[in-house]
């Protein structure tokens, strides 16, 4: 009888011990998932969500994006190393040169200045007359977001409505009239940040 009771007690003890191990294992896996996500580094400036690595894109899509960059024929928009890029999952915007050798994404709002030096202001915050002047200095602003833009000057102060609009925000340097904005890569769901310098130095040249 004692042996049966002993076996029963051992079985109960093993059951609870096994249950304890399962709980510990699940907690460990959750922690590992959180740690891996955290190790990716910075969140997307626009969606504030974890990003994916550019290297995870299929080679065919990466090649298509590279061909698009080459088609722009502008030295300020060269093809970039996709292995060092990170992508916002929600918007498809590709941020270049932000993934280190350790695989950690380091991205802050100074990515605009790193992409091209300038005093960048949201397109919607520029007075209408100045916007018209800037447009006249460019042969075309096609592909840029000129309809839905934040009225707040600082790019990082745009609300979700403007930040998540497609294509992404357009910025301008009012002194140089250079444009910096997101453009949709045809045939994909991705966007790239494009620099566009004015074609004319003044309105007089457009006449």
3-state secondary structure the chain: CHHHHHHHHHHHHHHHHHHHHHHHHHHHHHHHHHHHHHHCECCCCCCCCCCEEHHHCCHHHHHHHHHHHHHCCCCCCCCCCHHHCEECCCCCEEECCCECCCCCECCCCCHHHHHCCCCCEEHHHCCHHHHHHHHHCCCCCCCCCCCCCCCCCCHHHCCHHHHCCCCCCEEEECCCCEEEEEEECCCCCCEEEEEECCCCCCHHHHC
Do 81 and 149 fall into the same domain? yes
| Counted domains in the chain | 2
pLDDT at 15: 73
Same domain, yes or no: 192 and 125: yes
Going residue by residue through the chain (207 aa), what tens digit of pLDDT does each one get? Answer: 556 666 666 777 777 777 778 887 787 667 555 555 555 789 999 999 999 999 999 999 999 999 999 999 778 999 999 999 999 999 999 999 999 988 899 999 999 999 999 999 999 999 999 999 999 999 999 999 999 999 999 999 999 999 999 999 999 999 999 999 999 999 999 999 999 999 998 776 666
Q: What CA–CA distance (Å, rounded) separates 124 from 169?
A: 9
Question: What is the C-alpha to C-alpha distance for residues 33 and 154, in angstroms, rounded to an integer?
Answer: 34
Q: Are residues 177 and 83 in the same domain?
A: yes
Q: State the Cα–Cα distance between residues 76 and 85, nearest whole angstrom.
A: 17
Residue 41: how many CB atoms within 10 A of its CB? 18
Report if residue 47 sits inside a domain: no
- pTM here is 0.79
Q: Are residues 34 and 131 in the same domain?
A: no
Say yes or no: 3 and 74 in one domain: no
Same-domain status, 130 and 184: yes
- Structure confidence at residue 8 (pLDDT): 66
CB 94 within 8 A of CB 87: yes
Q: pLDDT value at position 102?
A: 84
Gap between the Cα atoms of 75 and 68, Å rounded? 13
Q: Domain of 29?
A: 1-39
Question: Would residue 44 count as lying in a domain?
Answer: no
Is residue 115, in this structure, part of any structural domain at all?
A: yes
Could you tell me if 62 and 20 lie in one domain?
no
Could you tell me the CA-to-CA distances from 46 to 11, 43, 155, 162 in Å, in that order?
55, 9, 10, 9
Is 71 in the same domain as 35? Answer: no
């Amino acid at each position: 009888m004692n042996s049966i009771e002993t076996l029963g007690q051992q079985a109960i003890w093993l059951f609870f011990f096994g249950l304890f191990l399962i709980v510990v294992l699940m907690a460990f896996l959750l922690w590992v998932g959180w740690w891996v996500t955290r190790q990716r580094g910075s969140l997307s400036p626009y969606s504030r969500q974890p990003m994916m690595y550019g290297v995870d894109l299929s080679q065919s899509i990466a090649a298509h994006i590279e061909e698009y960059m080459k088609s722009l024929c502008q030295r300020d928009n060269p093809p970039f190393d996709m292995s060092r890029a990170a992508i916002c999952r929600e918007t498809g915007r590709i941020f270049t040169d932000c993934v280190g050798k350790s695989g950690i994404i380091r991205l802050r709002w100074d990515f605009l200045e790193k992409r091209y030096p300038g005093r960048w202001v949201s397109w919607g915050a520029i007075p209408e007359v100045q916007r018209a002047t800037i447009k006249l200095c460019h042969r075309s602003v096609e592909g840029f977001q000129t309809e839905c833009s934040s009225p707040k000057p600082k790019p990082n102060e745009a609300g979700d409505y403007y930040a998540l609009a497609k294509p992404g925000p357009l910025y301008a340097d009012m002194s140089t009239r250079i444009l910096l904005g997101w453009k949709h890569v045809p045939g994909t769901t991705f966007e790239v940040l494009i620099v566009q310098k004015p074609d004319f130095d003044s309105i007089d040249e457009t006449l």
